[in-house]
């Protein structure tokens, strides 16, 4: 048997059932946690995060830590409509109805990652958007196969 660091010695050994759930998290049949969850770490400390991130003159003006949410983006969008302060960060340890690129749905069990969104309102003049629209890159791409002009016989 190869030597392993003390923190890994019991991971490959079959258990007697006692303490297994605490070490590996509940299995898929339990609904949450599971093999990709890090249940051994303590919950996020909102006070410590605020102390580290929220400083006078900083971009970040507020920070909320929640144990679970459907989607940090959806929650912040709803709060922004109610007058949320710019620079607010929302952090969650679990998401159940998140959306990614191309509107793909996904979820993440508790403590399987760190999920956050922040609310910023960029100060870009509308004329910059119009300039981008007029650039050659915004024109439709060339067709394939390339079309030839029709010439009468």
**Cis preceding-peptide flag for 30 (omega within 30 of 0):** no
Fold exhibited by the domain 34-122: BirA Bifunctional Protein; domain 2 (3.30.930)
In the three-class reduction of DSSP (H, G, I as helix; E, B as strand; rest coil), residue 124 is classed as coil
Q: How many helices (H) and strands (E) does the chain have?
A: 4, 5
Helices (H), 54-101: 72-81
> Which 8-state DSSP code applies to residue 103?
G
Q: How confident is the model at residue 56 (pLDDT cuts 50, 70, 90)?
A: very high
pLDDT tens sequence across 82-104 = 998 999 999 998 888 877 778 77
pLDDT tens sequence across 4-15 = 444 444 444 333
Gyration radius of the chain over CA positions: 25
């Amino acid at each position: 048997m190869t030597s392993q660091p003390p923190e890994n010695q019991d991971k490959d050994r079959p258990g007697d059932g006692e303490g297994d759930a605490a070490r590996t998290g509940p299995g898929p049949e339990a609904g949450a946690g599971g093999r990709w969850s890090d249940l051994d770490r303590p919950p996020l400390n909102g006070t410590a995060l605020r102390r580290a991130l929220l400083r006078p003159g900083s971009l970040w003006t507020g920070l909320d830590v929640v144990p679970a949410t459907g989607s940090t983006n959806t929650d912040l969008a709803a709060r922004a409509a109610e007058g949320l302060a710019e620079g607010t960060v929302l952090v969650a340890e679990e998401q159940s109805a998140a959306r990614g690129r191309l509107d793909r749905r996904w979820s993440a069990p508790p403590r399987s990652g760190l999920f956050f969104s922040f609310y910023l309102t960029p100060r870009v003049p509308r004329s910059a958007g119009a300039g981008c629209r007029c650039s050659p890159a915004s024109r439709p791409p060339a067709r394939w196969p390339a079309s030839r002009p029709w010439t009468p016989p």
